[in-house]
Amino acid sequence: MPSTWTLLRIGETTAHDPDLGALVAGLRNHLAHDGLASCLVQIGAAQRAYVALQGCPRCATGRCSVGCRVELLRRTLRAALGEQVTLTLVKRGLDPLGYRRMLWAWPMSPSAQPLSGELLAGWPRARMAVHWRRGGARRQVSALVCLGGTDGPDMVARLRAHGWASLEAPAVAHRWLVNPFGPAAQWCGAAVAGEPWLLLPAREPDGATLSAEASASGEPAEAPEEAR
């Protein structure tokens, strides 16, 4: 992740009827000017969603400069997911530990389907990062899926069912891939058509968002650590 990028956690929302039109419009506008990374961390049944984007020098103070992309994204998320949704600065990156397998993934054709948190279901520990390059109608997108804990479902088959090819990263490359926002994590990109999307936590059948594992303690399930 370039040092000028800002990592933020998308707070949980119980909105049953997200305004996807508002989300798409905001993302389209963002990607016309800049890139965007979207990341989902899963521990047990809990998922947390993050975004990384170019912010302004005042993001850390909570008083962004006029036109700051973080503030614009915050407004987009509120319009799409409800006023209560939060976008919180994560100062030290994500915990890089606990992943045994890492897969690069990219769309096999422009009609590839969006990825979502449901892809990670059944894995005790997993992380998926998607990178959108700045662009217009056909935007370049790439993904990195990291898997940990005991074995889970066949991720290669799941990605293929969504129209995504994948390549297992050799163990020697893992050290460059623990940072989901680094250049190595964006290695395999391909164009995709259709509207841009963000990784959001998977929803339970009744529409409720999965609660974070450690929410009762108020501490993050995945302790923020410096991404190396």
In angstroms, give the least distance from the CB of 181 to Zn ion: 17
Q: Does 55 bind Zn ion (CB under 5 A)?
A: yes
Is residue 59 within the footprint of Zn ion (CB under 5 A)? yes
Q: What is the C-alpha to C-alpha distance for residues 68 and 197, in angstroms, rounded to an integer?
A: 20
Which lies closer to Zn ion via its Cβ, residue 64 or residue 130?
64
Asked if residue 30 binds Zn ion (CB under 5 A), the reply is: no
Looking at 36-187, which runs of residues are DSSP E strands? 36-43, 46-54, 87-89, 101-107, 125-132, 139-148, 164-168
Q: Which of 7, 27, 68, 94 binds Zn ion (CB under 5 A)?
A: 68
Beta partners for residue 142, in sequence order: 131
Which is nearer to Zn ion, 75 or 228 (by Cβ)? 75
Q: How far is the CB of 112 from Zn ion (least distance, A)?
A: 32
Q: Which of 49, 52, 56, 147 binds Zn ion (CB under 5 A)?
A: 56
d(CA 89, CA 60): 7
Task: Give the nearer residue to Zn ion in terms of CB position, either 55 or 201.
Answer: 55
Of 32-40, 59-67, 78-86, 113-121, the segment contacting Zn ion by CB under 5 A is: 59-67
**Is 51 one of the binding residues for Zn ion (CB under 5 A)?**
no
CB of 55 to Zn ion, least distance (A): 4
36 lies in the site for Zn ion, by CB under 5 A? no
Comparison of 55 and 220: residue with beta carbon closer to Zn ion: 55
Of positions 70, 112, 147, 199, contacts Zn ion by CB under 5 A:
70
Alpha-carbon distance of 147 to 181, in angstroms, equals 16
Total of residues contacting Zn ion (CB under 5 A): 6
Which residues have C-beta within 8 Å of that of residue 169, sequence separation ≥ 6? 102, 103, 104, 177
Q: Please, how many CA atoms are within 13 Å of residue 181, restricted to the half-sphere of its CB?
A: 26
CB distance 81 to 26 below 8 Å = no
- Cβ-based neighbour number of residue 43 at 10 Å: 22
Strand, helix or coil for residue 46: strand
**Tokens, residue 171:** 């163990």
Of 7, 31, 39, 64, the residue at the interface with Zn ion (CB under 5 A) is 64
Q: Which is nearer to Zn ion, 51 or 70 (CB)?
A: 70
Contact residues for Zn ion, defined by CB under 5 A: 55-56, 59, 64, 68, 70
